[in-house]
Structure 1
């Protein structure tokens, strides 16, 4: 187990290098630069001033030299400087990261809770009305765009009923105290987390249902039933644990996509996280921040895959025996 985990973590280094080189090349090929946006916003037209700014930000160097300098900077945990916020990239990402982490954890918790529970019910009640209703709901939420679902939830629960706030992360200029502020964040979190979580819950439902139906056909399940175990004991002690393996794999693969999907949801609900920061950085050609977010996303995916391997060792003893 230790050898496999060390190999997984060693694979993170070439992965990060590949992400840096690929995204750096794509950014270099994209039209425009942050100097164009900066000079347009600040109405700078002096060629000498523009050239000094080009030298200041290292854009006068060849592309290969810029790439090598950036790789070395990342190795020393220096992701550059954001001209738009007048702060280092790490500081800018650090300010937006907690909001995105809260949204990710909440949406993943909703997706796992609803998806796994619905998948178990659909598999146990296969070919019944419960199975049909769950399957239809899973197809609907999988096909519905997350931004449309978020807008519909906003119209129902915020505009029509007035139960939840329309957007933002907390009430501006209001101090509710520590406990009150936590409840305020949870109220603002409910709709974006539900919008993002229902999409992934639909996938977990289908995967969990199919996995449990496959495990039900195995010989050890028939043996457990022949021993006189109740239906609940068979499902919880023998079927459920083995059926979780594909769900764990899917969870590890989708941690990165949750971060990408939060761009849309954070824009719809004005959630001040990495997604909103990424959108603003792309629009303003703030490429150091864009590269920093992409490196962070790839690092999250790599670490998540290593954690999936650890979960596999815990869930399936046969893997430890190999």
Structure 2
């Protein structure tokens, strides 16, 4: 296993290089550059040329990529044009706000969805199964921005139970437990929106996987031996049914840090999602490159983590 993990880590290096080149080329294909939105229309041509030369926009894309890659290898992803700060500092400031929201949503979705998916599979075509099947379809189908605005209207505007947006109460200087409760109160509505979508997906995956597993011969054999139904389901069936679901866990690692652009923007949550949106609209190339490279690394690590969990759950899987 150690050799396999080491080999996979080494394979990430050329993959990340290829991803960086691809992302850089895609960004270069967009019309204009960050300076085009910041230059004064009345600025002289000489001043514009100096600015473009300062940020290497007067060079061809190959040279620009080489300069960026050289700095990136040293941990310097450049200066954000929008935030006027180093890219690493901007990401560090906002990414953990998204992580807080996403990790709680992820844990809630797992805790709720797996038991429901198991029961729906074992009681197929029952009232319980039909109810949560419809619930999951609604959760998958309803647009997050629409659901978020409905919650905002009901609980914030009409009932005044929860704050409309933000992460802290404006003007309030809180600390300790009061600050924690204030953040938690602001987190409730965006948390409901994110959890519903994740819950619906995990629920459907768990149900489908369980339905396939409980029809296998070894499950019939376990029942024929006289084992209790709970033992058959939770000790024999569930463990194997989780293997396809683990694939989702691997993809969720980058999702924990990438934020939810629509949900965070609607609720004014200061996460990385709105930062990505501002970077795209403002053609903030250094910030876009930094965020995308982090997400690419997390995708690769998530896939590796999923493979390791496969081997831990299924003894038939061995990596050489």
Structure 1 residue 184: deviation in Å? 1.7
Aligned partner of 1:12 in structure 2 is 12
Selected match of 1:71 from 69, 72, 81: 69
Q: Does 1:173 align with 2:171?
A: yes
Aligned residue runs from structure 1 range 1-322, under 5 A = 1-40=1-40, 45-257=43-255, 262-320=260-318
Structure 1 residue 261: deviation in Å? 6.3
| Deviations 1:180-204, CA, capped at 9 Å, x for gaps | 2122222212221221221122111
Structure 1 residue 254: deviation in Å? 4.0
CA distance in 2, matches of 1:154, 1:4: 48
Structure 1 residue 44: deviation in Å? 5.3
Structure 1 residue 318: deviation in Å? 1.4
Identify the range of structure 1 (217-226 vs 277-286) with the bigger mean alpha-carbon deviation: 217-226
CA distance in 1, matches of 2:259, 2:89: 23
Identify the range of structure 1 (215-224 vs 93-102) with the bigger mean alpha-carbon deviation: 215-224
CA distance in 2, matches of 1:297, 1:244: 25
CA distance in 2, matches of 1:52, 1:102: 42
Structure 1 residue 259: deviation in Å? 5.3
Q: Which runs of 4+ in 1 moved over 6 A?
A: none
Is contact 2:219–2:232 with CA below 8 Å preserved after alignment?
yes
Structure 1 residue 249: deviation in Å? 0.7
Unpaired runs of 5+ residues, structure 1, are none
Structure 1 residue 62: deviation in Å? 1.6
CA distance in 2, matches of 1:173, 1:314: 50
Task: For residue 140 of structure 1, give the secondary structure of its aligned residue in structure 2.
Answer: helix
Is contact 2:102–2:255 with CA below 8 Å preserved after alignment?
no
CA 259–177 in structure 1, closer or farther in 2 if over 3 Å, else same:
closer
CA distance in 1, matches of 2:243, 2:76: 38
CA distance in 2, matches of 1:267, 1:157: 18
CA distance in 1, matches of 2:50, 2:89: 25
Is contact 1:167–1:270 with CA below 8 Å preserved after alignment?
yes
Structure 1 residue 10: deviation in Å? 2.0
* TM-score, normalised relative to structure 1: 0.93
Structure 1 residue 258: deviation in Å? 6.0
* TM-score, normalised relative to structure 2: 0.94
Task: For residue 260 of structure 2, give the secondary structure of its aligned residue in structure 1.
Answer: helix
Is contact 2:240–2:313 with CA below 8 Å preserved after alignment?
yes
CA distance in 1, matches of 2:104, 2:250: 16
Unpaired runs of 5+ residues, structure 2, are none
CA distance in 2, matches of 1:182, 1:211: 39
CA distance in 2, matches of 1:245, 1:94: 33
CA distance in 1, matches of 2:229, 2:264: 43
Task: For residue 165 of structure 2, give the secondary structure of its aligned residue in structure 1.
Answer: coil
Structure 1 residue 7: deviation in Å? 2.4
